[in-house]
A and B are shown apart, each in its own frame.
Chain A
């Protein structure tokens, strides 16, 4: 079974530039999560979807960040105008739809550096 895939693996931007991250979850997983992980800190949830619906985006900075999952499969996270404080690794995770499938499986992440 293929794992969660993400691209790109690395991104370097100047402040004010835009960037998009792409995630393909494990096949059949209905729940998809985007996390931001600053260096030497734990992952912090930004947004999560069940199928194509946003379930919780309360931690997503809505003025510059957006996330979509239009067909309930892969997802895109976009930063409209990056700031130095956005420097972090962006992790995508997915989880299965059955009641006993609690485990979240993480992708390799995209490491973003904003200069």
Chain B
């Protein structure tokens, strides 16, 4: 089955700087790559996703890059704020008809934004 590696596990950045989280996957059939933010005691919430027909997607301060050849994708948060402090998870899935349709999550990154 699919396996997703996520690094770093802990990330501390100064407010206003950028934060980057990197993930790699193994199954070349994976075509959907969401990112979830999870605050303590809360459920994971989707913040941005990218499909395999794109290489880059941006929503406000969030940028996702996908390199299908290298089987890597990454999340970049520009101009970080204290409210960005949370656990972040990447995930991969084959959402095509007949695909596995299930998310495999990375191990998570704890992001702390220092004021």
Contact = CB atoms under 8 A, between A and B. Distances in A.
B97 A40 contact: no
A44 B2 CA distance: 12
A55 interface: yes
Interface residues of A, number: 22
Contact of B103 (A40, A55, A104): A104
B34 A103 contact: yes
* Residue in A45, A107, A108 with the greatest tally of chain B CB atoms within 10 Å: A45
A74 interface: no
A99 interface: yes
Contacts of A21: none
A103 B61 CA distance: 20
A42 B95 contact: no
How many chain B residues sit at the interface, stated as a range, is 20 to 34
B102 A33 contact: yes
B95 A102 contact: yes
Nearest to B108: A42
B101 A45 contact: no
Interface stretch (B11-19, B42-50, B66-74): B42-50
B35 to A, nearest CB: 11
Given A103-B49, A106-B44, A43 B95 contact: no
A56 B46 CA distance: 23
A44 B103 CA distance: 9
